[in-house]
Amino acid sequence: MSSDTAPGAVQLIVPKRFGDARGWFTEVYSAAAFAKRGITCQFVQDNHSLSQPKFTLRGMHFQTPPHGQDKLVRCIRGRIYDVAVDVRRDSPTYGQWVGAELSAENGHQLFVPVGFAHAFLTLEEDCEVSYKVSGQYAPECDGGIRWDDPAIGIDWPMPEGTVPETSDKDKLLPLLADFDSPFEYNGVPLSPLPVSA
């Protein structure tokens, strides 16, 4: 794993796989290896979701301070398009986004630090997503912004005119312009994700 990434950055992580005739083995998390990448948070909870319809969209979600959550996301069945949006006030990249395809086949993971809204779109039926978080769920700090906010302009990989499956709760999330961000900028602007990490 690369060690030249700034702490607090959104990162695409590509764990190595070691394969033979039986299949493969991979290390998906190591505190020591992640610390070399500037990821030193302590993960306290693992979440697992199943999304049955293709083009299910979950997000854009976050937890506000004092219960912000860093997330480490991976797809363990199927394929998803995973997105992070900078919602840190005074950030020079406020409202900008990055995205990457995560799949059971490629094994890639996305690290999403506190201060970024997170969402994913399933690209196949029956997708399972597993992710670690650095804070317990706190309903009073649960928040989000609209997945289809035109001011953000996320290029979701779905056919034109497709209406994704979303929750009733996500349909009521505010636009970024109506969101008063409690997240502070940490001096690390959002950077494009590399093809590999």
Please identify every residue annotated as catalytic: 61, 131
- SS3 of residue 169 by DSSP: helix
Burial class of residue 148 in the structure, from the number of CB atoms within 10 Å of its CB (0-12 exposed, 13-18 middle, 19+ buried): middle
Q: Rounded distance, CA 152 to CA 165, Å?
A: 20
Alpha-helical runs (H) found in 94-193: 168-171
Q: Are 132 and 58 in contact (CB under 8 A)?
A: no
Locus of tokens 């029956």? 126
Q: Rounded distance, CA 10 to CA 181, Å?
A: 18
Locus of tokens 């997240």? 183
Q: Residues with Cβ < 8 Å from 133, sequence gap 6 or more?
A: 43, 44, 45, 46, 47, 69, 70, 71
Q: Rounded distance, CA 128 to CA 51, Å?
A: 6
Structure tokens at 74: 């991976």
